[in-house]
Amino acid sequence: MRKSIGILTSGGDSPGLNAAIRGVGKAIEGRYGYSIIGFLDGFRGLAENRYIKLDSASLSGILTHGGTILGTSRDKPHKMPMNGKIVDVTDKIIRNCNKLGLEALVCLGGGGTQKNASRLMEHGLNVITLPKTIDNDVPMTDV
């Protein structure tokens, strides 16, 4: 069974996300031989286990298209609106990642995404983040 890496985009939509998804995906698949699972609509898709398999064909042709093929949301795992209530879906996210056998989760987003990714790391997930912000609110990303 091939090893898998998950990827999601979170926060506001912006140009460059598809290019980042493509770059990460091509490296993961081509150089390391892992399969790529793209979660739809950010952390919400991860909580609801909504994903697509990404491969060379699905990553082809997205480089020059702005936005994200995965969709995005501003949902936070520790306080996500679900069925009219605000709930902590962190444990559900961890279970979903474990069921899929993810080696790591790549999160593309700004300051809020970085905080949410850090919380998931505290619960044992291997997380890689790529900062996406115009607010200059993600420390140490200029180095």
Q: How many CB atoms lie within 10 A of CB 27?
A: 13
- What domains can be seen in the chain, in order of their start residue? 4-131 (3.40.50.450)
Residue 23 has pLDDT above 90, yes or no: yes
Q: How confident is the model at residue 143 (pLDDT cuts 50, 70, 90)?
A: low
For residue range 81-134, list pLDDT tens digits in order. 999 999 999 999 999 999 999 999 999 998 899 999 999 999 999 999 988 877
Alpha-carbon torsion (98, 39, 77, 33), positive or negative: positive
Active site residue 88: no
Give Rg (Cα) of the chain. 14
Please name the helix (run of DSSP H) or strand (run of DSSP E) that holds residue 6, with its range, or none: strand 4-9
Among the listed residues 41, 88, 135, 137, the single catalytic one is: 135
Q: How confident is the model at residue 1 (pLDDT cuts 50, 70, 90)?
A: low
Q: How far is Cα 51 from Cα 71, in angstroms, rounded to an integer? A: 11
Residues in the chain: 143
